[in-house]
Amino acid sequence: MLIRREVLKAMSIAAIAAVGSPAVQAASRTAKSAKVAPPLPALTDEQFVWCAAQAMIWGMPAVNLDLMLQAGLRGGAKLNQIVYWSRLLDWKCQTLTPNSDVIYLNPFFDTREVGPVVIEFPPADDGVINGTLMDAWQTPLEDFGPAGIDAGKGARVLILPPGYAGAVPDGYHVFRPATFGGYGLVRSILRSGSQADLDNAVAYGKRMRLYPLSAVQNPPPTTYIDAFGKLFEATIPYDARFYEHLAAFVQREPWLQRDRAMIDTLRTLGIEKGKAFAPDPRQRKLLDQGAKRAHAILDQLFEQLFDTPWAPGSRWSFLVSAEYAAQAIENFPDPNRYPIDERGMLFTFIFFSPRRLGEGILWLMTHKDAKGAVLDGGTTYRLRVPPNVPMRQYWSITLYDRVTHAFIREMPYTSRSSQTPGLQVNNDGSVDMFMGPTPPKGWEVNWLPSRAGQRFEALARFYGPERALFDRTWVLPDIERIG
């Protein structure tokens, strides 16, 4: 891990000296007889800060999900219910780089109390979904919909608790995640931007069902909680609050074998299974410092994403390395590779991991203009999308706050797409998209608002991507500054 060497270097002298001391040896004998963990050597403030930074990088995907779960619970949802948005997302959905051109549905499942859980996905008849189920580490279990395991035929999914040894009925796609909790990111795709098609996408998405296997003979109605119009705050807090979420996660979920090396690191911070997390004022200050240090490391890694352009000379980049994707979609099978740093970086600006990367959606991101200057909210830009975009469903451009990676707050809308009603198309089939604090006259429908004094980033999405995108015979141009 990127900072592991720093932690070990900082701790080595104190740890070696402490192991040989009579006090530690006596404490060790007492701990063994009482079957409790022995005390850890006291750390300097600097060592504590490094441990906190390491914990943030490692725990980012878990906390990322817990933030969304807690936002759902504050909005009135319970476990094993589905949070959804009855309209296209507005800025109040403060998750990380969400898509405001589809209907979102998030089933939050948990098998701890109810045992095995069933989730049913509808066939692609009156609508289409693009969805993924994940465990509590946001490791993908499988994709669903036309690009998923069911190929759009619909699916009945059975999720079993860790260690489940009961009977497993036939007729299900069966998954055994290593955690009790998890969730799904399900997008119900609109056929067009009309109100009728939006209403249909909502109704189609709500054909999903979620219930315990124990009720399979008479399943209760699935509860849907509408989050539209409510502040759904799930951005990453780069301070001591992050560790409160991490501590809650540690209490809920089992340790994975691959992560056992983190047990003592977290104990150093006061995070231990079966114990309340109660940092004192000094520790909270050090946790704040550790979070800031981790944030600096992760943001540097984020910047390095753009060192590998999607096409030669382009400012657009794909969001994940091929090496990481190969590991993540298989739940990190290589015993010699565990890319915690890249995983931590990714979950500072995204949530969810697809099982079949690039098959249903292609994402490209940039935070610089054609000349390499950062995108500034007080400047006007133009993106000319060439004609004949190689996609089967739709394309979109969405703007986000560069600092939080969430929607820019209090904007009238956040995205424009090929389905936007009234979108102006040039005579040659290309589309000019404008970004800035005010719209160019006559181009209001093609305008994406930004805020002066804030940097922003742009994300291009292509649903149902076709070969020309991947072989780069069709390339999205860079964003040009025009004022």
Q: Which residue has the tokens 């979609």?
A: 329
Query: Which has the minimum average pLDDT: 9-13, 72-76, 270-274, 359-363?
Result: 9-13
Indicate if 305-481 has the same CATH topology as 76-229: no
Half-sphere exposure of 2 (CA within 13 A, CB side): 20
Q: How far apart are CA 260 and CA 277, in angstroms?
A: 19
Domain extents in the chain: 76-229, 305-481
Can you give the C-alpha Rg of the chain in angstroms?
Answer: 24
Tokens of 335: 């015993």
SS3 159: strand
Residues 265-287 have pLDDT tens digits of 999 999 999 999 999 999 999 99
Residue 35 confidence (pLDDT): 55
Residue 69 has pLDDT above 70, yes or no: yes
Residue 37 confidence (pLDDT): 67
Q: How far apart are CA 332 and CA 334, in angstroms?
A: 6
Q: How far apart are CA 63 and CA 58, in angstroms?
A: 10
Q: What percent of the chain has pLDDT over 90?
A: 86
CATH of 76-229, one of 2.40.50.140, 1.10.10.10, 3.40.50.720, 2.60.40.1610: 2.60.40.1610
Residues 216-233 have pLDDT tens digits of 999 999 999 999 999 999
Residues 376-422 have pLDDT tens digits of 999 999 999 999 999 999 999 999 999 999 999 999 999 999 999 99
Residues 125-176 have pLDDT tens digits of 999 999 999 999 999 999 999 989 999 999 999 999 999 999 999 999 999 9
Residue 10 confidence (pLDDT): 41
Residue 475 confidence (pLDDT): 98
Residue 329 confidence (pLDDT): 85
Residue 465 has pLDDT above 70, yes or no: yes
Residue count of the chain, please give it.
Answer: 483
SS3 449: strand
Interhelix angle 45-74/241-252, nearest 10 degrees: 70
**Number of neighbouring beta carbons within 10 Å of residue 48:** 20
Amino acid (1-letter code) at residue 329: I
Residue 36 confidence (pLDDT): 62
141-to-124, 136, 179, 331 alpha-carbon distances in Å: 20, 11, 12, 9
Residues 83-125 have pLDDT tens digits of 999 999 999 999 999 999 999 999 999 999 999 999 999 999 9
pTM for the model stands at: 0.90
The arithmetic mean of pLDDT across residues 51-68, rounded, is 98
CATH of 305-481, one of 3.40.309.10, 3.40.50.300, 2.60.120.600, 2.40.50.100: 2.60.120.600
Residue 341 has pLDDT above 80, yes or no: yes
pLDDT tier, 31 (very low <50, low <70, confident <90, very high otherwise)? very low
Residue 25 has pLDDT above 50, yes or no: no
Mean pLDDT of the chain: 92
The arithmetic mean of pLDDT across residues 343-359, rounded, is 90
- Greater pLDDT, 7 or 330: 330
- Tell me how far the alpha carbon of residue 159 is from its chain's centroid: 21
Residue 27 confidence (pLDDT): 38
Residue 42 confidence (pLDDT): 78
User: Which ranges constitute the DSSP H helices of 212-316?
Assistant: 241-252, 263-269, 281-304
Burial 201-220 (b: 16+ CB within 10 A, else e): bbebbbbbbbbbbeeeeeee
325-to-21, 164, 285, 353, 359 alpha-carbon distances in Å: 46, 29, 36, 9, 13
One DSSP character per residue, 330-369 reads: TTS--TT---HHHHHHHTTT-----SSTTTSEEEEEESB-
Q: How far apart are CA 123 and CA 151, in angstroms?
A: 9
